[in-house]
Amino acid sequence: MIYFDNAATTSVRDEAISAMLRVMQDKYGNPSSMHLMGRRAASELSAARYSVATAMGAGADEVFFTSGGTESANWAVFGMAELRSHRKKHIITSAIEHDAVFNCFKRLENKGWSVTYLEPDSAGRITAECFADALSEDTAFASVMLVNNETGAINPVGEYSDAIKRRGLKTLLHTDAVQGFCKIPFTIKSLGVDLLTVSAHKFHGPKGVGGLYIRKGLNIAPQLLGGGQESGKRAGTEAMPLVAGFGEAARLGLIEMKETSERVRKLREFLTNRLAETLPEAKIIGEGDSPYVLTVSLPGYKAEILMSYLDGEGICVSKSAACKKGARSRTLENMRLSNEIIDGAIRVSFSRDNAIEEVEELIQALKRAAETIIRI
């Protein structure tokens, strides 16, 4: 099996599995309990929080664990809306956000908020000029992703923050950094955001755990009520095995980020060059800011059929985002690509586990597919 769907999820690295097993077997106490086993679990919780915070350049007291990127994004958007509901009613997002953010804005729009949906340029980016032009005195908050999950386009989030500060606005800024965390270099300071979303399973941690950075002093209300876990911000006993795996993946991901990024960049460049040689009709979508994602189209073919063919060859890719489950890509549509290019687009996403030999096998399988499948 050759796996090129790492933007959907990655394999869990051995070190994270070991951390999870250690907690399940030896430190299984509730971290809120005051006895020895509880204190041992609390120590693991603190260590994981420190690792995640360090990887994003935040304080440990600014990072809160959740069940994943979706919960974190929902908490950020609805929390900002609640915090700003008494004064301003204009908000900003992009037309190419992940549904975990986009659908929150749609709900707020249905409740009377005025929403500006920023359109991407031809490379799939939301430019700083586009963001700045949308800002007004009434803009309560904004949320634009750091790295697009379909094209790999990196948005200039730090420049968005600069635009807010230049205007002297009190606009809150959130970014979905799920596809960027431990993959591209950034810090909370360099982005200038108030809130930031991450998810463990995108960089070799376990599924079911994520995090939300909340700037110190920003009183975002909890969305889950119950006990006083996570400093009273998020109720529910922490999923300690998952948290431990998350922390270990973040610790090692930060250490290895530069080396892994260079390795993955070589894979992407090799695929791009070999496609040009072997399948000159193939179209690369976007400019590939992030080396981890490449969307390629074979115009005249159906992505679903290409995916099925590759699946039969033991190669896993996806069509747009995995969570779309076959629906047409909103991102590619908003890039104003032709229907033929959109319908023939597949996403290839890399990780530290992939090799040049696997990329060559993908190229040869795509070549066979183009020779075998009837064009539409």
Which 3 state secondary structure label does DSSP give 335?
Answer: coil
Please say whether the beta carbons of 153 and 147 come within 8 A: yes
159-175: pLDDT as tens digits: 999 999 999 999 999 99
Which 3 state secondary structure label does DSSP give 275?
Answer: helix
Structure tokens at 104: 């929150």
CA dist., res. 221 & res. 15, Å (int): 34
Share of the chain above pLDDT 90, in %: 94
Structure tokens at 303: 């992505």
Please give the average pLDDT of every successive group of 10 residues along the chain, which has 376 residues: 97 98 96 96 98 98 98 98 88 97 97 97 96 96 97 97 97 98 98 98 98 97 92 95 98 98 97 96 92 96 95 93 66 94 96 98 96 82
Q: Is 284 exposed, middle or buried (0-12, 13-18, 19+ CB in 10 A)?
A: middle
Please give the model's pTM, rounded to 2 decimal places.
Answer: 0.95
CA dist., res. 261 & res. 253, Å (int): 10
Residue 262: CA count within 13 A, CB half-sphere? 3
Q: Count CB atoms within 10 A of the CB of residue 85.
A: 13
CA dist., res. 148 & res. 50, Å (int): 27
State yes or no: is 323 an active-site residue: yes
- Select which of 104, 182, 316, 323 is catalytic: 323
Q: Could you tell me which of 342, 363, 355, 361 has the C-alpha nearest to residue 280?
A: 363
Residue 251: CA count within 13 A, CB half-sphere? 15
Spell out the domains of the chain, with CATH numbers in brackets. Answer: 2-9+257-372 (3.90.1150.10), 14-253 (3.40.640.10)
pLDDT for 325 equals: 59
